[in-house]
Structure 1
């Protein structure tokens, strides 16, 4: 059995590969795929096959997926490009005879209304249309999305009101993805993955408790939050996507519950307090 992991030169894909190795998958049965393969030369030194491929280059994907049995398709990171990029990967996987694709999607992709979710939902639909058996991992909001050191100095800002966000560590999600790709069978096709749900005010309070410094949360209208994000250096289009996600979170778009993640991990998600403590250390 050969398992291909795309995006292996990024932190999520890299952690998924490390988890596969720690679970006893032989290194020579793992293909780590990415664009900046110099970042994962150490994996090659440990026996993992390291292969260059880009979602924008179908031929490179066909080469990387040749002979693969399973594919962990880590979603692309470029808004506006994901649909054709993911279609390239799905087509290459189908041509290669891949028996299962595990895809990292967005929380509540079919119901949230988030701009961020639209490309992920389109990919889920493309997977269904491909006929290749697939498992959808709708990954919750990363704790790593927040600059906790910056929050100690300036506080936290957003547009999510009293909505609960199922904050989760990237490592937990990557471990769950590795578990999903090695599983022989699944209880469901779609998993909603997240940690414990907290409001941003509760999140700020926990950062305050862990750090011993007062951290406040300031809620803003969506348009004002967009301007705020642009003011701190984000491109306007990306700022608008993040502000839209926050606005939708006020209505529960980023709340997933914890059951599906615990099922894949075989343990509860990392407690938020522990994750914050580690981030601040």
Structure 2
């Protein structure tokens, strides 16, 4: 049998995970630490972020926590600098932090709410990429993984602002992948469908309060939401050398939702 090209091992790698206080981010941080990575846990929620770090250390892993609002340039630079100070390099950035839009028709979206969705979901990804790429370019290597959504490849009823932000993430991913493909840096995105997280737990109530019931939602063809750990497995693959020939890939992890 031919030996596999690339490795799924993350031993010695330094990986930043934003939105790591719960859901996909926490599951990914725990898995990456379990397979040898040194993880920088980033989240706006300090208490929950510190809990993720505690869980990492409890399982024998290594990491640091940095409290940050990913929509603020100074905060993003701070988690980049803290990682470099602790470990001297950045092998991978998992740009995962994001927020959901309140379900409503476009004309009813509050301008301040729209700005917040774009600032966290899109600008936060842009800033993370901007400052990580400058480090990775000097290193001559690196991997960036962005969390988009099925709404990054199609629209969802009553989620126009969220859809716009995730379409933007897909665009940033493809643009950066093209620009850095000859510099040893890979940029990919995952597109989850429904995932069993704190965000999705609030969706039924939001739908009831908004008075909207989109016919496309929920359309879980597997009959269930994904578990965060199922997304974490894909993140771990993309962060590994086993995905060395992948860049600019927009990967649907949606249980067939978009079929």
Q: Post-superposition shift, 1:14?
A: 1.1
How many residues matched?
190
The C-alpha deviation readout for 1:210-231, integer Å capped at 9, x for no partner, is: xxxxxxxxxxxxxxxxxxxxxx
Aligned to 2:42: 33
The answer to which structure, 1 or 2, has the higher relative contact order (CA under 8 A, 6+ apart) is 2
Aligned to 1:239: none
Aligned to 2:234: 176
Q: 2:117 aligns with which of 70, 79, 95?
A: 79
Quick one: structure 1 residues 186 and 161, their matched pair in 2 at CA, closer, same or farther if it must change by over 3 Å? Answer: same
SS in 1 for 2:129: helix
| Structure 2, unpaired ranges of 5+ | 1-12, 100-115, 181-185, 206-211
Q: Post-superposition shift, 1:148?
A: 11
Q: 1:91 aligns with which of 115, 120, 130?
A: 130
1:80-229 to 2 correspondence within 5 Å? Answer: 80-81=118-119, 82-97=121-136, 99-107=142-150, 109-112=152-155, 115=160, 116-130=162-176, 131-132=179-180, 133-144=186-197, 145-146=200-201, 158-160=213-215, 164-166=219-221, 167-184=225-242, 185-186=244-245, 189-195=249-255
The C-alpha deviation readout for 1:175-222, integer Å capped at 9, x for no partner, is: 322222224325571211122x5xxxxxxxxxxxxxxxxxxxxxxxxx
Using the size of structure 2 for normalisation, the TM-score is 0.61
Q: Highest Rg: 1 or 2? A: 1
Partner Cα separation in structure 2 for residue 53 and residue 3 of structure 1:
16
Partner Cα separation in structure 1 for residue 73 and residue 216 of structure 2:
43
SS in 1 for 2:94: strand
Aligned to 2:258: 256
SS in 2 for 1:48: strand
Partner Cα separation in structure 2 for residue 186 and residue 9 of structure 1:
30
Quick one: structure 1 residues 83 and 146, their matched pair in 2 at CA, closer, same or farther if it must change by over 3 Å? Answer: closer
RMSD of the TM alignment (CA)? 3.1
